[in-house]
């Protein structure tokens, strides 16, 4: 799998981000799935926040059945970094601009 942290759109409307642990033809097992929440910051700009989804799942593992998934996609490194900081290993992915000293 090219990128093991993905975004999933559930048919119920939830947007989730999490690390794929296992995938079969019928289900995806994710570690520490988080709901993506669109919110305004104090300056009035729209931003993205992450909130635990199924926070009481044993070991943070959740099985999502594919018949309940509307779509999935890879995510940009900024959102993956935020998920990793809050729920994952904490390892951050540097952008090309950062590595070139442009940021």
* 48-77 confidence digits (pLDDT tens): 889 999 999 999 999 999 999 999 999 988
pTM: 0.79
pLDDT band at 102 (very low <50, low <70, confident <90, very high): low
Structure tokens at 39: 């919110």
In a 13 Å sphere around the CA of 95, the CA atoms on its Cβ side amount to 11
pLDDT at 74: 92
**Domain edges within the chain:** 5-75
Q: How many CB atoms lie within 10 A of CB 92?
A: 14
For residue 86, give the nearest of 47, 34, 9, 40 by alpha carbon. 34
CA distance 21 to 62: 10
CA distance 58 to 54: 9
Pick 5-75's CATH classification: 2.40.340.10, 2.30.30.100, 3.40.50.1110, 3.40.50.720: 2.30.30.100
Q: For all residues of the chain together, what is the average pLDDT?
A: 86
């Amino acid at each position: 799998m090219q990128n093991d942290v993905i975004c999933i759109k559930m048919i119920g409307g939830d947007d989730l981000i999490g690390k794929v642990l296992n995938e079969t033809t019928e289900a995806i097992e994710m570690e520490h799935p988080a709901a993506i929440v669109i919110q305004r910051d104090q300056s009035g700009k729209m931003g993205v926040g992450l909130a635990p989804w199924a926070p009481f799942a044993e070991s943070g593992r959740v099985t999502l059945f594919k018949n309940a998934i509307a779509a999935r996609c890879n995510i940009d490194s900024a959102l993956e970094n935020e998920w990793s900081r809050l729920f994952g290993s904490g390892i951050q992915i540097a952008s090309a601009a950062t590595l070139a000293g442009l940021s």
